[in-house]
Structure 1
């Protein structure tokens, strides 16, 4: 039976066989490259077939036009100019605003500025001019009191992107991070032929999205005989991911793949691999940012997940408008589960 193993890879004393294989290969791919799949991915094909057969998996397809120019505040985790993901979120919120005839005020904060986000919510409550709040909380616990304060003051709150441990929120709109991580893990098992040595770059400790992605990856990898050499957090930072990967590459002689919980860290891993002169290491990310898609085209990265922030943000605005217009209530969570796996086979469709 397959499964994830922890520890160092075993060295096989087959020097004569390796020398013979090298002579046969000449200048061709090395042994690891030769063992990898080059035919079309069945995991990718199954994923695309699932997307094609799924109809209206995420809410109604009807367009909504607001009867009142509601004033909605959309609080993001970062500024649009500072993050490709939040730039696309901003675009989705604005497109939803124009389409539905309502007013959406998009607010960003400095990276990890939890207190700044708390003050934003307090300011909206004090102003008394906001009909609804959509918030992507920087912390799943520390934002809870101020969000509950907003709800108590009569402002409905919809939580976006990251779960929040708060009572009486309208709903949570997010992505199926666990399912997406599992899909990436299954793809990796396929690409490695069922076995290999792998490293995982995680997001910030305690971040629910990061945990779900990592746990999903591990679930997918468990379908093969994968040796997870180490896991480390790079806090969504490229330079931290590069430093961690550089240390890993010095410590481990045989590395077949590195899976990162977002594209930024994946690119940091690719930077370290290039500087170390190592080859034949698969690298996956998450988010489908433009620079990651280009890196897949050039072979620096090998797979990512399209998280569809524009569609999710538009949907969040739509739900808030529906609630403000008719008082309709929603399930506690509405996960966006149209998971798009992107590899060199289909990356051109997403650029």
Structure 2
């Protein structure tokens, strides 16, 4: 064979090999498979474990070259933010999410501002419409470089979010998915998986059989619906009788009123399963008021008041959905886009999910105190 043909064959083989490797690299970055441990970029979420992005690689500590203005649109409203100041997010998960996002934004050198609905709304529909108006007003300011949004509805916020994007404002969605493909990305967790973990845990604690009640969030709201489906799936692993299921608008007074009714109606209750911290705390208040004992209470969220109730044994466990880390991860994504024009998968599953118990929390805080003591 002539030398020029041999050279041509070698070049062709090299090109084919390069294309093949490029395709594999694209799948590893954009597919749904986890990155191998050697490629994961780890960082702490100020709690008791490390988390990693499952579909992307990010610079652990990125520094902005411009003071980009990012607006964090909270899903919570007046009650969640009005009376809180830095370090005092006692009973609001969204206040804690905002604090983590703000802390990372400050360290990255960007200007991050909080936006939330400043008037109390009556019912979920009014809360959604007021959030739509809030975002519309932000778009009109014409001085925003990026937006992080916790949407109150997966469908009704689509038009205003797409309006922001058409006005050259990149948007990252957190917590509740939005039915659009136009966002920069959506940082989410599997609420159904967390609910299933709660259901399984209750079955294990009751040794396979018992009587339970479930307090859910709003009807047809995505997170509440997914958590409920997961809980019901987990409970099916045992011989569990579900005495009743009630829906709420996530408020503590509603949960307290429902618990009051149930405690009078049912003499034999093994567990009350709730889908948020506020609901669990409302149930706890009523159980204490009626001096009932031996009832397991489960929660979602991991803000301080819930954690304290777990440590004291008043709440049995909570599903840590990693909301705090969603906020900081959303800021990281947005800063990398603004700085480097980086593209991302349509969905980023941020945190590793788990349940928190008193034993875990006591062990974690004990280790933290030891670290502080050793540093001194």
CA contact (8 A) 2:96 2:303 kept: no
After superposition, give the CA deviation of every residue in 1:314-342 in whole Å (9 maximum; x if it has no partner): 11011011112222221121123411311
Query: Aligned to 2:194, which of 155, 177, 180?
Result: 180
Counterpart CA distance in 2 for 1:340 and 1:153 is 39
Secondary structure in 1 matching 2:212: strand
The reply to whether residue 237 of structure 1 matches residue 251 of structure 2 is yes
2:96 maps to 1:94: no
Could you tell me which runs of 5 or more consecutive residues in structure 2 were left unpaired when the two chains were aligned: 1-47, 84-90, 366-376
Contact 1:172–1:334, Cα closer than 8 Å, also in 2: yes
What does residue 214 of structure 1 align with?
Answer: 228
Larger Rg: 2
Greater shift, 150-159 or 305-314, is seen at: 305-314
Which sections of structure 1, spanning at least 5 residues, go unmatched?
1-50
Q: Contact 1:92/1:309 (CA < 8 Å) preserved in 2? A: no
How do 1:132-147 and structure 2 match up within 5 A?
A: 132-147=146-161
Q: Which one has more relative contact order, counting CA pairs under 8 Å at least 6 apart? A: 1
**In the alignment, is the contact (CA less than 8 A) between 2:214 and 2:274 conserved in 1?**
yes
2:29: which partner in 1?
none
Aligned counterparts, 1:152-167, within 5 A: 152-167=166-181
CA distance in 2: counterparts of 1:227 and 1:278, whole angstroms: 20
**Structure 2 CA distance, aligned partners of 1:132 and 1:349?**
39
Distance 1:53 1:214 in 2: 27
The separation in 2 between residues aligned to 1:138 and 1:334, in whole angstroms, is 19
Q: Would you say 1:283 and 2:297 are equivalent positions?
A: yes
Task: Give the total of aligned pairs.
Answer: 301
Q: Does 1:248 align with 2:262?
A: yes
For residues 269 and 362 of structure 2, what CA distance do their matches in structure 1 show? Answer: 28
TM-score by length of structure 1 reads 0.80
Q: Helix, strand or coil for the counterpart of 1:285?
A: strand
Equivalent residue, structure 2, for 1:268: 282
Asked if 2 retains the 8 angstrom alpha-carbon contact of 1:148 and 1:167, the reply is no
Cα deviation 1:275-302 (Å, max 9, x = unaligned):
3332211111110221122212222211
After superposing on structure 2, the runs of 4+ consecutive aligned residues of structure 1 that deviate more than 3 Å are 51-61
